[in-house]
A and B are shown apart, each in its own frame.
Chain A
Amino acid sequence: AQSVSQHNHHVILSEAASLELGCNYSYGGTVNLFWYVQYPGQHLQLLLKYFSGDPLVKGIKGFEAEFIKSKFSFNLRKPSVQWSDTAEYFCAVIPPSGTYKYIFGTGTRLKVLA
């Protein structure tokens, strides 16, 4: 079945460590890609999105993601995490179905140790 995969379910890092969260999808054709963050007790917030153009996308709070079409991947990165980055991160894909529906990955729970 077509899907969105986030292989890291739980990640624990120390402050200032670098972060990379994987996201892979299995849809062919043109896709739209998103990373959302959900801080404890809060709603999902958009970190960044890719529709077309430069495959290296910069988002808020120092996050960036790289779209690699050949690898069907859209990995999220941050060079130096902070304690306040502790949250759950979701990758989402709009597949080429024409219905604008998001397909979410299973999420990655990040804990940053102070």
Chain B
Amino acid sequence: GAVVSQHPSWVICKSGTSVKIECRSLDFQATTMFWYRQFPKQSLMLMATSNEGSKATYEQGVEKDKFLINHASLTLSTLTVTSAHPEDSSFYICSAAASGGFYEQYFGPGTRLTVT
């Protein structure tokens, strides 16, 4: 149980375009989902916390207008990288916490974004 999927697993886009990444909890309802960014050989940096039906909370230094997060249902959160630039190239990972189980997060497999 507690499976989280992400789509796509990798994407290449041109500079200036937007890319949407989906995060789904497959077998549980996720009140809260988290979006992380992982640079090569580095740790996961939390970008934002999203709660179903409300606005996401962004970490300091993360541009909310660039990284749009929508948590439309208890099983789906999306991250849209708008007007992508090469410096946005990274590995984006989502996680989900089950309703009532906020202390444990289940991680998706990640999405590798390359902006050319």
B35: min CB distance to chain A, Å: 12
A91 to B, closest residue via Cβ: B43
Q: A43 touches which one: B32, B34, B108 (CB < 8 A)? A: B108
Inter-subunit contact B43/A44 (CB<8 Å) = no
Interface contacts (Cβ under 8 Å), in number, total: 46
Inter-subunit contact A106/B103 (CB<8 Å) = no
Known: A32-B103, A43-B107, A43-B109. A102 touches B34 (CB 8 A): yes
Q: A102 touches which one: B4, B41, B42, B46 (CB < 8 A)? A: B46
Inter-subunit contact B49/A101 (CB<8 Å) = yes
How long is the Cα–Cα vector from A49 to B102 in the complex, in angstroms?
13
Known: A43-B110, A44-B93. A102 touches B105 (CB 8 A): yes
A13 within 8 A of B: no
B102 to A, closest residue via Cβ: A100
Inter-subunit contact A101/B46 (CB<8 Å) = yes
The digit string for A82-107, where 1 denotes a CB below 8 A from any CB of B, is: 00000000100010000111111111
Count of chain B residues with a beta carbon within 8 Å of a chain A beta carbon:
22
Residues of A near B108 (CB, < 8 A) are 43
Residues of A near B42 (CB, < 8 A) are 106-107
A46 within 8 A of B: yes
Inter-subunit contact A42/B109 (CB<8 Å) = yes
B97 within 8 A of A: yes
How long is the Cα–Cα vector from A12 to B108 in the complex, in angstroms?
27
B107: min CB distance to chain A, Å: 4
A105 to B, closest residue via Cβ: B43
Q: A100 touches which one: B43, B97, B107, B109 (CB < 8 A)? A: B97
Q: Which of A's residues lie within 8 Å of B, judged by CB?
A: 32, 34, 36, 42-46, 49, 51, 90, 94, 99-107, 109
Q: Can you give 29 contacting A-B residue pairs, CB < 8 Å?
A: A32-B103, A34-B104, A42-B109, A43-B4, A43-B93, A43-B110, A44-B93, A44-B95, A45-B107, A46-B106, A49-B104, A51-B103, A90-B43, A94-B103, A99-B49, A100-B103, A101-B46, A101-B49, A102-B34, A102-B44, A102-B46, A102-B95, A102-B105, A103-B46, A105-B43, A106-B42, A106-B43, A107-B43, A109-B41
